[in-house]
C-alpha cells in the first residue's frame, strides 16, 4: 500500500503539545516517524503527522483536548505489536502513544487486583505478581512485548484463553480519556451508575471510544501443578483429530495449540529453535494445570487420545525449561516467519473442531 506523506503540524500546534509533554516527547522528524508507520502488519504503512508521548492521565487529557479543538484525528498506540493495522495513522492522524506510561500503580494481593498504566508490558505484570503466588492470565504470543493497554483495545487472548478466557474477563475498572479530553472512570474506578456495562463496551473497542490511562485487572493464583505435552504427527489431519478427541473426552486443557509443518521448519531454522522434528507434518502442544492429585489422570487420557489419533511420539515436559521450550516453538512462530518473507499478512480463522481433520 502506498504511503502518502501527511501535512506537517503547524508550529503553533507543535508548541502547544510540547508545552504539555515536553520537547522530547513530540516527534515530528521524518526519520524518527519511520518507527510509527505501521504496527506488526507491515504490509500497510502510513506516516503520522506527529507522535505525542504523554506520561499520565492529565497529560493525555490535555493532549487530546488540544487535538480535539484543532479537529486533528488521533490514533492511540501501545507497543505496535498488533497484526491488524489497528495502530495505523490513517487520515492525517497524530499518534498518541503510551510508551512512557509503564507504571504498576497498585498491587493488591489480598483482593487479587492490580492497577496499571496502559504501557506496562503484559509479561511484566505477571513478574510483579509472582512473589505473591499470583499471575495475569491472558498471554498473547507477543506477551514479552505487547502492552496491557493494547490488550484492552484488542481484547487479546492467547493460548491459555481456551480455559481462562480473554482480556474482558479480567478487566474490572478503567480510567479513560475520551477524545475531547474528558476523564471518565468506569467499573471498579468509581461507583458506576446502573445501566450498561461500559467496561465491557470499551474492552475490544480498538481505540474508538478513547484511551485507557489506568487499568484495573484481576489476578489469579498460580496453579499447584502444570503438565505440558508435545505430540508429533505425520499428518496435519491427525493433529486435528487429536484435538477433537481430547475435547470429546471431557478434558479441559489450559491450552491446546497446533503448529503445522512449515511453521515447525521456520522455527527450527531460527534462533527460536525448540527441538521439534523438522520432518513432522504437525505438532500439538497440550497443557493441563490444576491440583496435582488429579492432573496425572488427565495427562494420561490426553496422551491416549493423541496416540489413538495417530501421534508417532508424545513427549511430556520433564522440567520448566523443557515446558518453556515447547511454548517457544509456538509463541515465537510469527517472529521466525521473518525468514520466509519480509511482510506477512496474518489473519485469524475460526474452524469447527469437526472440520479440523
Cβ-in-10-Å burial (0-12, 13-18, 19+) of 170 comes to buried
Q: Do residues 342 and 317 both lie within one domain?
A: yes
189: confidence class by pLDDT, cuts 50, 70, 90: low
Rounded distance, CA 346 to CA 40, Å? 9
Q: Do residues 268 and 351 both lie within one domain?
A: yes
Neighbours of 297 (CB within 10 A): 11
Model confidence at 190: pLDDT above 70: no
Distance of CA 3 to the CA centre of its chain: 26
Q: Specify if 5 maps to a domain.
A: no
Model confidence at 283: pLDDT above 90: yes
* Residue 291's CATH number: 3.30.70.2190
Give the bridge partners for 26, in sequence order.
52
* Residue 38's CATH number: 3.30.43.10
Q: Do residues 158 and 251 both lie within one domain?
A: no
Q: Do residues 300 and 345 both lie within one domain?
A: yes
Which helix (H) or strand (E) is 263 found in, with range? helix 261-268
Q: Specify if 4 maps to a domain.
A: no
Model confidence at 63: pLDDT above 60: yes
Give the chain's domain count.
3
Q: Do residues 114 and 201 both lie within one domain?
A: yes
Among 97, 120, 154, the domain-final residue is 97
Q: Against a cut of 0.85, is the pTM above it?
A: yes
C-alpha cell at 346: 496474518
N-to-C CA span, the chain = 36
Rounded distance, CA 323 to CA 316, Å? 8
Q: Specify if 294 maps to a domain.
A: yes
Max Cα–Cα distance, the chain, nearest Å: 70
Average pLDDT on 333-353 reads: 78
142: confidence class by pLDDT, cuts 50, 70, 90: very high
Rounded distance, CA 171 to CA 166, Å? 10
pLDDT per position as a tens digit, 7-54? 889 999 999 999 999 999 999 999 999 999 999 888 889 999 999 999
Q: Do residues 86 and 127 both lie within one domain?
A: no
pLDDT per position as a tens digit, 159-170? 999 999 999 999
Q: Is the dihedral of CA 141, 164, 244, 327 positive or negative?
A: positive
Among 166, 195, 221, the domain-final residue is 221
Q: Do residues 205 and 243 both lie within one domain?
A: no
Give phi and psi for 121, each to the nearest 5: -70, 140
Range of the domain at 165: 104-221
180: confidence class by pLDDT, cuts 50, 70, 90: very high
Rounded distance, CA 218 to CA 136, Å? 7
Q: Do residues 345 and 231 both lie within one domain?
A: yes
What 8-state DSSP symbol labels residue 83? S
Q: Do residues 229 and 336 both lie within one domain?
A: yes
Q: Do residues 215 and 231 both lie within one domain?
A: no
Q: Do residues 206 and 291 both lie within one domain?
A: no
* Residue 181's CATH number: 3.30.465.10
**Helix 320-331 vs helix 261-268: crossing angle, to nearest 10:** 110
Q: Specify if 2 maps to a domain.
A: no
Q: Specify if 263 maps to a domain.
A: yes
Q: Do residues 70 and 158 both lie within one domain?
A: no
Among 47, 77, 97, the domain-final residue is 97
pLDDT per position as a tens digit, 237-270? 999 999 999 999 999 999 999 999 999 999 999 9
Amino acid at each position: 500500500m502506498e504511503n502518502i506523506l501527511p501535512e506537517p503540524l503547524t508550529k503553533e500546534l507543535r508548541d502547544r503539545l510540547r508545552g504539555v509533554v515536553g520537547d522530547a516527547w513530540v516527534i515530528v522528524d521524518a526519520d524518527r516517524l519511520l518507527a510509527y508507520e505501521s504496527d506488526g502488519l507491515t504490509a500497510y504503512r502510513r506516516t503520522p503527522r506527529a507522535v505525542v508521548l504523554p506520561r499520565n492521565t492529565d497529560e493525555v487529557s490535555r493532549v487530546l483536548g488540544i487535538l480535539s479543538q484543532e479537529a486533528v484525528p488521533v490514533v492511540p498506540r501501545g507497543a505496535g505489536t498488533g497484526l491488524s493495522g489497528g495502530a495505523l495513522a490513517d487520515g492525517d492522524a497524530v499518534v498518541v502513544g503510551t510508551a512512557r506510561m509503564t507504571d504498576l500503580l497498585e498491587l493488591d494481593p489480598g483482593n487479587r487486583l492490580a492497577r496499571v498504566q496502559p504501557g506496562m508490558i503484559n509479561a511484566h505484570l505477571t513478574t510483579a505478581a509472582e512473589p505473591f503466588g499470583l499471575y495475569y492470565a491472558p498471554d498473547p504470543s507477543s506477551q514479552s512485548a505487547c502492552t496491557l493497554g493494547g490488550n484492552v483495545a484488542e481484547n487479546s487472548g492467547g493460548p491459555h484463553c481456551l480455559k481462562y478466557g480473554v482480556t474482558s474477563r479480567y478487566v474490572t475498572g478503567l480510567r479513560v480519556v475520551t477524545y475531547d479530553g474528558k476523564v471518565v472512570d468506569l467499573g471498579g474506578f468509581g461507583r458506576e451508575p446502573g445501566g450498561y456495562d461500559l467496561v465491557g463496551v470499551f474492552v475490544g473497542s480498538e481505540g474508538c471510544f478513547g484511551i485507557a490511562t489506568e487499568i484495573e485487572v484481576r489476578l489469579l493464583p498460580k496453579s499447584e501443578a502444570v503438565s505440558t505435552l508435545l505430540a508429533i504427527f505425520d499428518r496435519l489431519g491427525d493433529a486435528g483429530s487429536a484435538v477433537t478427541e481430547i475435547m470429546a473426552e471431557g478434558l479441559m486443557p489450559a491450552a491446546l495449540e497446533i503448529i503445522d509443518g512449515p511453521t515447525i521448519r521456520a522455527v527450527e531454522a531460527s534462533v527460536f529453535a525448540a527441538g521439534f522434528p523438522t520432518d513432522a507434518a504437525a505438532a500439538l502442544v497440550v497443557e493441563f494445570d490444576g491440583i496435582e492429585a488429579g492432573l496425572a489422570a488427565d495427562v494420561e487420557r490426553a496422551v491416549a487420545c493423541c496416540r489413538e489419533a495417530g501421534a508417532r511420539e508424545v513427549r511430556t515436559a520433564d522440567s520448566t525449561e523443557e515446558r518453556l521450550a515447547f511454548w517457544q516453538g509456538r509463541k515465537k512462530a510469527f517472529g521466525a516467519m521473518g525468514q520466509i518473507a519480509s511482510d506477512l499478512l496474518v489473519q485469524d480463522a475460526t474452524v469447527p473442531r469437526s472440520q479440523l481433520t
